[in-house]
Amino acid sequence: MAIIEPVREEAELPHPKKKYSATLRLWHWANAIVITGSLLTVLSNSTITNGRKVSSLVQNELQHSGVTLTNDQARQAGHALSDSVWDVHVYFGYCLAGLLLFRLILEFFQLADQKFIRQLKKAYACFKSTKADRELAIHELTVKIIYSIFYLLLIIMVVTGLSLAFEDVAFLKPMRHTVKDVHGFCMYLILAFIVVHLAGVFLAERKRSKGIVSDMINGG
pLDDT digits (tens, 9 = 90+) for 154-170: 999 999 999 988 877 76
> Which pLDDT does position 132 carry in this prediction?
66
Distance separating alpha carbons of residues 83 and 51, to the nearest angstrom: 9
Q: Are 117 and 107 in contact (CB under 8 A)?
A: yes
DSSP category for residue 110: S
Amino acid at 182: V
Distance separating alpha carbons of residues 212 and 192, to the nearest angstrom: 20
> Which pLDDT does position 12 carry in this prediction?
43
> Which pLDDT does position 2 carry in this prediction?
45
Which residues does the chain have with pLDDT short of 50?
A: 1-15
> Which pLDDT does position 1 carry in this prediction?
43
> Which pLDDT does position 115 carry in this prediction?
82
Sequence-separated (6 or more) residues with CB below 8 Å from residue 110: 21, 24, 116
Torsion angles phi and psi, residue 128, rounded to 5: -75, -35
Maximum separation of any 2 CA atoms in the chain, in Å: 110
> Which pLDDT does position 114 carry in this prediction?
78
Strand runs labelled E in 48-126: none
b/e per residue, 12-46, with b = 16+ CB within 10 A?
A: eeeeeeeebbeebbebeeebeebbeebbebbebbe
- Chain Cα centroid distance, residue 37: 10
Q: Are 82 and 49 in contact (CB under 8 A)?
A: yes
> Which pLDDT does position 9 carry in this prediction?
42
